[in-house]
Structure formats: C-alpha cells, structure tokens
C-alpha cells in the first residue's frame, strides 16, 4: 500500500512539474516574451467556455492628459501593461492574476471551472509564471508568492523591499514597492523586482525558485520598473514605461546600460538577441517599434506599429492597415513575404501554422504561409483582446472587460 501511495505521489509530482512542448508557462510564452509557440491549433475552433473575472483595475488609467513641461497633449500610453487578465497554462490548468479581486486563480483547462484561488492583499497585475510545479506571482502588496501549482497552497513568499509601507492607489492599499514585473525564470533562477517611483529605491532580486533563498538583491536608484521582465542568454531587460528599458547582468544583477532607442512596456527578444520595443516616447503621434541589436544600436524602425512577433527570421507586424510578413534576413532561404488587410491588433502571437491577431471585438487567425484568413471569432461584448495564449490544442483570449475565452477543436467543444 505504501508503495502504491508513493507511485501515485510521484506521478502527481511529475505531471505538475514537467512542461509539454505546447504549454504556455509564462507571460507571452517564454523568457524572451516572444509570443511564439510550437503548439498546433486545429482550425476551425469553437468556443469551449468563458469566465468573467470583473473589470481589470489598471495600475495607470491611461496616458497623461498633457505634458506640463513641454505643453504637449494627445500623449500615448507608455504603461499599459495590465489591460486584461493575461493567462498562462501548463497541463490541464489555466492560471491568471486578477487586479479585480487581488487573487491568483487556477481554472480547469477543459471546463473553465475554478480549481483553486489564492488571495493576496492587493492587485495581481500579470499572470503567474509556472516552473517545476510552482506558480510564481507578484502582487501590488509588495510580495512575490510561490504557490503549489496544483493546489494553490503557499510554499513561500518574499517581500521585495525591506520596508512594508503602504499607500492608497486606485481604491487599493498597495506597497510603495509593488511587484509589477511578471516573474521571470532564466538559468533556473527566479527574478523579480519591487519598484514604483524614481525617488524611492527599487529592488532587483534573484532567488532559488524552489526555496526562495536569495542569490542577490540589488538596490537601484532613479528607476520605475514595470512591465514583464525578459532576458537574453546573459542579460536581464527591465522595462520602465516612460523611460528606456534597463540592462542588468543575469549572474550578478549589476547594471550594464540601457536601450536608448526604446521605451514603453512592449518588449521582446528575438532568437538572435535583438530587442523590439516601443513606443519610444509618449509624445510620438504614431505608434512605433524599434529593433535594436545587443549593444543598443538601432537596426530598424517599424512605423505605425504597436506589436510584433519575430520567428525564424520573419517579422509579423501590423502597419498602415495591413498585417505583414517581412524577412529580416539577407541571403537566406526565407518564406515569401505577404500582406493582408486586417483590423489593428491589440495582440499578436504565432503558433506552428498561424498568426493569431486579437483586436477590438474579436480574434482572427491567418496562415503563416500566405496570410490567408483561416479562422475568426467575434467577441462583440468584450472590448479589445489584449491577451492570447496557446496550450494543449486550445486558444485562450483575454479581453479588456475582464473575460477569458477558451476555444478548442470542435470535437472537444461539442
């Protein structure tokens, strides 16, 4: 009997810690925030379930109304990192953090029923990162929480700052050092930050993900870290919103510069360690994304563009009313480029065969090969679809009204 119990425990442990190739374990899939998965979707998809989580209470309600220093108005939002309840998914569970009820939720991937919920003391603005059976989530209460991914039980927590001062913010009491950068796992190390205002110190922390034991804790001045952390092979990149993303050594946490031709909270690292980010300035009249190399030199500028995905040397982006596939390589055997008229995207991701676009009022999927429309789903009541994820042959869409929509193969949904 003891042997049987041990075997059942071992099976449960392995099922909760082993990632599948088509899991989506962290914000935008991986530590590069690529938005690219090898997972395959069998189109057409049909609606499996929908969960309404209440309206997101964003950290920042929108762009500044005007720049008092220069007198400019009509500014862009540079800190729109939490417009919906983004999801992550591993195995048979789907996870999201909520700014509406201050909690981390786990749902059954097949039915959408809640499997567990863990409440914090303030909004959880980005989805948990799942690693080796642990769900890591940061909260505006200033703590990083490590939860058992299957049960939601608290394993350990760490307050990012030595100080536990609280301040009122958007009808919540939050830490003066909230954790607003999605937890990052790189080189089997957990990274997170505690930061809000440039006139208070911020903290960059690396820890053992299993135990929470800190490997380093760097105090940083004059920064405001927000939006998902991301990494190259040896560098941690920390977005700041209105200021340029900052670079830190992954091993030591020591600062190594900034990406000068960058700004905003949209950032991704390409397969060859180039960075795409934007917009550079809230004063810019048009959306722009900038491609910079590992040393921070500008390689390309994509005008009228707010989001992009790069994989296998092809950039998929929307500009001037069209979704385009553009080759970034020279002298390489690249797929043919194409362009197709589409709605302006609020999110883009790429699966094995499709480019999937979230927009105001729905989702559209286009063939990676030629740009032809292969599937679409309206969400007329949901506002803009800001979050997309693919896991276990299912597509998940998160909208600006706080709903999460799941789509699966028709045989699973009937």
Per the listing, tokens 């509406």 go with: 100
Residue 108: partners with Cβ closer than 8 Å, 6 or more residues away: 92, 93, 94, 114, 115
Say if 299 falls within a structural domain.
yes
Among residues 306, 223, 209, the alpha carbon closest in space to that of 258 is found at 223
**Count of the separate structural domains present in the chain:** 1
Q: Contact 222/198 with Cβ under 8 angstroms?
A: yes
List pLDDT tens digits, range 166-186. 989 888 899 999 999 999 999
Query: Does residue 227 surpass a pLDDT of 70?
Result: yes
Among residues of the chain, what percentage have pLDDT more than 70? 85
pLDDT digits (tens, 9 = 90+) for 245-297: 899 999 999 998 888 766 677 889 999 888 888 766 555 556 778 887 766 67
Tokens 């080189």 belong to which residue?
Answer: 187
**How many angstroms separate the CA atoms of 159 and 178, rounded?**
9
pTM: 0.89
Alpha-carbon gap, residue 45 to 388, rounded angstroms: 14
**4 occurs within a structural domain:** no
Residue 14 belongs to a domain: no
Domain-located, residue 2:
no
Contacts of 81 (CB under 8 A, 6+ apart): 59, 125, 126, 180, 226, 227, 228, 239, 241, 265
Give the structural domain span for 93: 19-413
262: domain CATH number is 2.130.10.10
| Residue 8 included in any domain | no
User: What phi-psi label fits residue 392: left (phi over 0), alpha (psi between -120 and 50 degrees) or beta?
Assistant: left
- Angstrom CA distances, 373 to 14, 22, 301, 377, stand at 39, 23, 27, 12
Half-sphere exposure of 335 (CA within 13 A, CB side): 18
pLDDT value for 6: 38
pLDDT at 76: 46
At which residue do the structure tokens 């946490």 appear?
Answer: 253
pLDDT at 13: 45
127: nearest Cα among 388, 408, 401? 388
pLDDT-based confidence at residue 57 (cuts at 50, 70, 90):
very high
268 within domain boundaries = yes
DSSP string, 283-298: T-SS-EEEEE-TTS-E
d(CA 146, CA 14): 18
Q: What's the alpha-carbon Rg for the chain, to the nearest Å?
A: 20
Please give the mean pLDDT across all residues of the chain. 87
* Whole-number pLDDT of residue 18: 63
Q: Is residue 212 part of a domain?
A: yes
Does residue 138 lie within any of the structural domains?
yes
**24 pLDDT above the threshold of 70:** yes
List alpha helices for 304-409, DSSP H.
none
- The distance of Cα 352 from the centroid of its chain, to the nearest Å, equals 19
Give the residue from 363, 413, 371 showing the smallest Cα distance to 393. 413
């Amino acid at each position: 009997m003891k042997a049987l119990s041990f075997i059942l425990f071992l099976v449960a442990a392995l099922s909760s810690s082993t990632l599948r190739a088509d899991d989506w374990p962290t914000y935008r899939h991986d530590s590069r925030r690529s938005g690219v998965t090898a997972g395959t979707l069998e189109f057409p998809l049909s609606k499996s379930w929908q969960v309404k989580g209440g309206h997101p209470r964003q950290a920042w309600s929108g762009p500044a109304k005007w720049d008092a220093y220069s007198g400019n108005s009509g500014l862009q939002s540079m800190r729109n990192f939490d417009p919906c309840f983004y999801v992550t998914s591993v195995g048979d569970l789907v996870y999201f953090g909520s700014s509406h009820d201050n909690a981390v939720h786990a749902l059954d991937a097949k039915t959408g029923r809640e499997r567990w919920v863990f409440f914090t003391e303030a909004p959880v603005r980005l989805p948990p990162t799942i690693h080796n059976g642990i769900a890591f989530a940061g909260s505006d209460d200033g703590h990083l929480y490590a939860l058992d991914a299957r049960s939601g039980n608290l394993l350990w927590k760490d307050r990012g700052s030595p100080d536990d001062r609280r301040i009122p913010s958007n009808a919540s009491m939050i830490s003066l050092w909230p954790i607003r950068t999605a937890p990052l796992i790189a080189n089997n190390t957990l990274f997170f930050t505690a930061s809000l205002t440039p006139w208070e110190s911020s903290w960059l922390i690396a820890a053992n993900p299993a135990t929470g034991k800190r490997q380093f804790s760097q105090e940083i001045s004059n920064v405001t870290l927000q939006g998902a952390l991301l990494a190259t092979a040896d560098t941690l990149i920390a977005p700041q919103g209105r200021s340029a993303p900052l670079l830190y050594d992954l091993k030591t946490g020591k600062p190594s510069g900034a990406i000068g031709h960058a700004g905003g909270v949209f950032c991704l690292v390409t397969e060859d360690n180039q960075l795409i980010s934007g917009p550079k300035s809230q004063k810019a009249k048009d959306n722009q994304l900038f491609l910079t190399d590992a040393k921070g030199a500008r390689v390309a500028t994509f005008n009228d563009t707010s989001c992009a995905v790069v994989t296998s040397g092809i950039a998929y982006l929307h500009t001037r009313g069209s979704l385009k596939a553009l080759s970034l390589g020279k002298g390489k055997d690249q797929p043919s480029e194409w362009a197709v008229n589409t709605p302006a995207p609020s999110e883009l991701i790429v699966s094995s065969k499709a480019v999937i676009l979230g927009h105001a009022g729905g989702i559209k999927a286009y063939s990676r090969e030629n740009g032809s429309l292969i599937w679409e789903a309206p969400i007329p009541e949901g506002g803009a679809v800001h979050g997309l994820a693919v896991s276990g042959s299912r597509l998940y869409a998160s909208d600006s009204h706080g709903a999460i929509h799941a789509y699966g193969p028709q045989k699973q949904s009937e």
